[in-house]
Amino acid sequence: MRYRSRVTAPAAVLTGTAAVLTGGNAAYAGTKDADAKGTEGEGTKDGGVPAPETLGDPVFPALGNDGYRVGAYHLDFSYDPTTALVDATATLELRTTQALTRLSLDSLGLDIHTVRVDGRTAAFEQVDEKLRITPARRLSARTRVTVCVTYTADPRRTLPHTAWVPTADGFAVCPQPDSAHTVFPCNDHPSDKADFTCRITVPAGLRGVASGALVRTEHLAGDRTAYTYRSRSPIATELVQITVGDYVVKKRRGPHGLNLRDVVPTARAEALEPALALTPGLVGWIEERLGAYPFETYGLLPCNSDAPNAFDFTGLETQTLTLYKPNFLLQAEPKIGSHMMHELVHSYFGNSVSPATWADLWLNEGHADFYGLLYRYERGWPDSLGLTTFEARMKDTYARGDQWRRSSGPVAAPNAVNLFDSQRYVGGVLVLYALRQLIGEDAFHAVERAFLARFRNSSASTEDYIAVACRVSGRQDVSGFLRDWLYGTTTPRMPGHPDWTVTPVPPSLTAPPRRAPGRWHENSATL
Cα four-point dihedral sign 438, 443, 448, 450: negative
Contacts of residues 269-278 at CB distance under 8 Å and 24 or more positions apart, as own/partner, are 271/330, 272/302, 272/326, 272/329, 272/330, 274/333, 275/300, 275/329, 275/330, 275/333, 275/336, 275/340, 276/250, 276/252, 276/300, 276/329, 277/252, 278/333, 278/336, 278/337, 278/340
Q: Which of 130, 47, 63, 58 shows the shortest CA–CA distance to 96?
A: 47
Asked if residues 338 and 368 have their Cβ atoms less than 8 Å apart, the reply is no
Instruction: Give residue 10's pLDDT.
Output: 30
DSSP letter assigned to residue 304 = S
Q: Which of 410, 414, 422 shows the shortest CA–CA distance to 359?
A: 414
CA 281, distance to chain mean position in Å, is 24
In angstroms, rounded to a whole number, what is the distance separating the alpha carbons of residues 423 and 414? Answer: 9
Asked if residues 236 and 354 have their Cβ atoms less than 8 Å apart, the reply is yes
Instruction: Name every residue whose Cβ is closer than 8 Å to that of residue 140 and which is 6 or more positions away in sequence.
Output: 96, 99
In angstroms, rounded to a whole number, what is the distance separating the alpha carbons of residues 169 and 233? Answer: 29
CA 82, distance to chain mean position in Å, is 32
Asked if residues 301 and 241 have their Cβ atoms less than 8 Å apart, the reply is yes
In angstroms, rounded to a whole number, what is the distance separating the alpha carbons of residues 218 and 207? Answer: 12
Task: Return phi, psi of residue 400, to 5°.
Answer: -85, 0
Instruction: Give residue 312's pLDDT.
Output: 64
Instruction: Give residue 447's pLDDT.
Output: 98
Q: Which of 14, 164, 135, 162 shows the shortest CA–CA distance to 77?
A: 164
Block mean pLDDT (10 aa), the chain, length 527:
34 33 34 35 59 94 96 98 98 97 98 98 98 97 98 97 95 96 98 98 98 98 98 98 98 97 97 98 98 98 84 88 96 98 98 98 98 98 97 98 96 96 98 97 97 98 97 89 98 98 85 46 84
Instruction: Fill in the amino acid letter for 219.
Output: H
pTM comes to: 0.91
Give the DSSP H or E segment for 369: helix 361-378
Asked if residues 140 and 122 have their Cβ atoms less than 8 Å apart, the reply is no
Instruction: Name every residue whose Cβ is closer than 8 Å to that of residue 507 and which is 6 or more positions away in sequence.
Output: none
Q: Which of 60, 177, 181, 170 shows the shortest CA–CA distance to 109?
A: 181
Instruction: Give residue 512's pLDDT.
Output: 54
Instruction: Fill in the amino acid letter for 35.
Output: D
Asked if residues 272 and 278 have their Cβ atoms less than 8 Å apart, the reply is no
Instruction: Give residue 474's pLDDT.
Output: 85
Q: Which of 147, 63, 60 shows the shortest CA–CA distance to 100?
A: 147
